[in-house]
Structure 1
């Protein structure tokens, strides 16, 4: 190696060029370093990123692009934003259990729908998820132990999913549009022949009927008020005319005109 301040030899110059070009190529590589809060290991040729129990409040943005298994359980994550895993084209397993997730955006899993085989969202704070969020997902999904609100949109969403068979009975209605379903496993409610969307349509029809009746009552009340108000004005006007000199004769003339008309 050359000394600081000394002249460069041919060998030193060659070494500098090798280091320069190596740095350029390494810097242009697509694989990112492991996030500081996580641990990245290789198992059976797959990159496993261990971020469980790291007190994270969001999904790390600088995950390695060759991540195949991503473990984010037991953190403080509250939401899954759009395109959260867009760069992880090789992602197979995703564990988000035991967090505080309340919202999942419609495009949360866009970009990994074809590669993902396992998704765990158990033990979070989900009461509902947009149907679009799980579009095209073929993964086995765990949704147990969340405070689900059982209504039509949840029923339609679950029809398209492959739920984890071992935990499907723990997808329980914390709240529901029909009180008798509260505390019941959703799969049991649906297996009994109940269609939550029929109840939703009936509720919508009743609400529409009440709205129409309300508008009709308002319009009717306004017409009645308008007629009575004009009738009182006309009576006061005739009384005023009668009070004028010659008012009695004018009133008789008006009555005659009204009779002719």
Structure 2
């Protein structure tokens, strides 16, 4: 009997310890909710020992500097978490991920610049998210993709410069958005938000006269509601042959020349991606000056890089050979998106059967009424099924430039020039 009594006491004590309240906090129950109040305690870390059944936790008005991974792993049933008026600068990955039942989250009035946005993907029950008065500089495009239940979002008084198009599209139940007092760059990337806020959405967006431009300087202080339409367009690229290299001094020998014609507003940034047997080369254009020499500060190892990207969109490959075979891609990017055009380049030298094989295919297609046709020394594919283009290079009294043909997806085939007597044979397969 005595042993049974001791066992009962042990069980009761164990249950009591399991429901203990952390020393610095006040714990209670109200309307069926288990509430813990740890606010105004000068805490510098989240205290351990919370009961597992707590549903409301306040840590507001403390001195918490950051939220580490697993900070709230003890309270998986939490529905409301108040963390306003702390000194939080970083919310680490995994700090909030365990709170799948959370409905209310207040992180306002902190110093947060480093936030684990991926943690929000686990908070699908969230109704209220308050992140105003922090140091946030950007929001990933997919940050709110799982928050279909969110009703209220406050992002005002941060340092947001831009918003990715579609940022708020997943928030189908959103009724209230505060985003005023951010230093927005009023360029093409913000125009979608103006259209969405003024004409598309039914979400209440208060203080719209305080959603203003910080840059460019000529628009500083202009409310987004009065921002005039800007001439904006996503990038377009076309990979072509360009004979002029702005006076570049070419080395003797065969030179493969590509030119990337780019359109778009704002002016797109140009980037080359080159895949060869020796590996991958990533080149931010330009990497050379008009004389073909590496620009100061360029990572090129030699004074004349083997891939020379010029400011006018041209790319030269001096002394083109087997080691330079591969896929050449031109990528243009601006605030509104990106566009890419690619071409596969392979070399077939005389005497290896490459010229005869390509020649037979060319003439066979012509005999069948398909393939390519020639007009004034130009070669043009007749249809999208013709994926073999022939290029001839020649060495005469000085350096010559290879003429390059390319057919990009959704575009008409480009012209191909034939230069002089053939010494080498190139064939291009575009896609």
TM-score bracket for this pair, using the shorter chain length: 0.5 to 0.7
> SS of the counterpart of 2:35?
strand
Q: What's 1:120 paired with?
A: 106
Q: What's 2:11 paired with?
A: 25
TM-score when scaled to structure 2? Answer: 0.39
Deviations 1:144-181 (A, max 9, x none): 1111113xx5343245546663x62x434426479xx9
Asked whether 1:143 is paired with 2:134, we answer no
Using a 3 Å threshold, how does the CA distance of structure 1 residues 154 and 127 change in structure 2: closer, same or farther? farther
Larger relative helix fraction: 1
Using a 3 Å threshold, how does the CA distance of structure 1 residues 45 and 125 change in structure 2: closer, same or farther? same
CA contact (8 A) 2:121 2:143 kept: no
Q: What's 2:142 paired with?
A: 156
Using a 3 Å threshold, how does the CA distance of structure 1 residues 65 and 217 change in structure 2: closer, same or farther? closer
Using a 3 Å threshold, how does the CA distance of structure 1 residues 216 and 25 change in structure 2: closer, same or farther? closer
Using a 3 Å threshold, how does the CA distance of structure 1 residues 68 and 216 change in structure 2: closer, same or farther? closer
TM-score when scaled to structure 1? Answer: 0.62
CA contact (8 A) 1:172 1:184 kept: no
Structure 1 vs Structure 2 CA RMSD? 3.7
Equivalent position to 1:66, from 53, 56, 59:
53
Cα distance in 2 for partners of 1:163, 1:100 equals 26
> SS of the counterpart of 2:7?
helix
Q: What's 1:239 paired with?
A: none
Cα distance in 2 for partners of 1:189, 1:99 equals 35
Larger relative strand fraction: 2
Q: What's 2:327 paired with?
A: none
> SS of the counterpart of 2:142?
helix
Stretch moving more, 29-38 or 76-85: 29-38
CA contact (8 A) 2:82 2:106 kept: yes
CA contact (8 A) 2:71 2:95 kept: yes
Using a 3 Å threshold, how does the CA distance of structure 1 residues 183 and 28 change in structure 2: closer, same or farther? same
- Highest Rg: 1 or 2? 1
Q: What's 2:86 paired with?
A: 99
Cα distance in 1 for partners of 2:135, 2:60 equals 18
Cα distance in 2 for partners of 1:164, 1:185 equals 27
Asked whether 1:110 is paired with 2:193, we answer no
Cα distance in 2 for partners of 1:42, 1:130 equals 31
Using a 3 Å threshold, how does the CA distance of structure 1 residues 210 and 204 change in structure 2: closer, same or farther? closer
The answer for unaligned runs of 5 or more in structure 2 is: 164-180, 197-234, 236-264, 273-281, 289-294, 307-431
Residues 95-244 of structure 1 mapped to structure 2, 5 A cutoff: 95-113=82-100, 115-138=101-124, 139=126, 140-150=128-138, 153-158=139-144, 160-161=146-147, 165=152, 168=154, 170-174=155-159, 176=161, 183-184=183-184, 191-192=193-194, 205=271, 208-210=283-285, 213=288, 217-221=300-304
> SS of the counterpart of 1:220?
coil
> SS of the counterpart of 1:219?
coil
Deviations 1:107-133 (A, max 9, x none): 1123221x1111111111112422222
CA contact (8 A) 2:94 2:116 kept: no
Residues 242-257 of structure 1 mapped to structure 2, 5 A cutoff: none
Using a 3 Å threshold, how does the CA distance of structure 1 residues 55 and 173 change in structure 2: closer, same or farther? closer
Q: What's 2:407 paired with?
A: none
Aligned pair count? 196
Using a 3 Å threshold, how does the CA distance of structure 1 residues 218 and 118 change in structure 2: closer, same or farther? same
Deviations 1:230-252 (A, max 9, x none): xxxxxxxxxxxxxxxxxxxxxxx
> SS of the counterpart of 1:75?
coil
Asked whether 1:54 is paired with 2:41, we answer yes
